[in-house]
Structure formats: C-alpha cells, structure tokens
Amino acid sequence: MVILILVGLLFAALGVYGSRRQILLRRKGQRVTGTVTRIDRHWDAGTGPNNQGSYSYTPVLSFQTLTGQQVETSSGVGGSSPGVEVGQQVRVIYDPAKPDVAEIDTFAVQSVALLLPVICAAAGIGMTVGGIVGAIRR
C-alpha cells in the first residue's frame, strides 16, 4: 500500500507541475511566427500495439523572439505522426524567460499539452486515495 501511495503522490506532483507549466505558458507566453526546420523521430520501445514499439515525432522550431533573439528548439509536444511538415510556418508560443521552452500554438497541441498532465495528476490522486483507503481497511 505504501508503494501505491508514493507512486500516486509522484504522479500527482508531476501532473500538477506539468499543468501549472502549461497554464503559465498560455498566460505569459509570447506568440510569434516560426518555421519547422526538421522533425526528430524517436523510437519508443514497447509503447505500440502488442508492445512492439513505435516512432514518435517531435517538430524542431526556429523563430525570432520579440527581443530579436534567434531560437531553434524542439517543441514540448510530439506525437505518433508529425502533424506538420519541414518548412511549414507555424504560430509558436514561447516562454520569454526561457525561449527554448516553446510549442506550436494550435488548439490541438495546446489541448494535448494540458490534458496529459491533468490525466497524470488525476491518476496519481486516484492511486494515492486507493492506497490510503486500502491501508485503512487493513
């Protein structure tokens, strides 16, 4: 039961941190036009159907900040398909204090970026509560 509670607390903390980060980026982030310079492809072993693994794709963005700094960074959100093409111009939202923290500014990307941490937090809270209830019942 203790392990379930600890894992639940870890998931909840990671979820809250990720959600907070996304909310702050949406509130304080600067929006500019950028270009997809390449798409990085990563092999994720054991995450596909039947645990065979699959590729995930992360766009690399190039943009100029409002202060004139040129930045090239990987998007904070990737997926099972690229969703964009090399050379495509996209809206970018970035953290003015850390311009290398940037994402494509579309509803779909921003929804995924916020939804995943919320699910993680909810799962963590559920595991924690389940562990506590299980410990009380013993």
pLDDT value of residue 112: 60
pLDDT block averages, 10 residues each, the chain of length 138: 77 73 83 96 71 83 97 84 90 94 75 65 79 79
- As given in the structure block, the two tokens for residue 61 are 């963005």
Q: What does the longest C-alpha to C-alpha distance in the chain come to?
A: 62
Side-chain-side CA neighbours of 8 within 13 Å: the count stands at 16
Contact present, 94 and 101 (Cβ < 8 Å): yes
Q: Where are the domains of the chain?
A: 2-137
| DSSP helix/strand/coil, 76 | coil
pLDDT value of residue 116: 67
Residue carrying the six token digits 């099972």: 80
pLDDT value of residue 98: 93
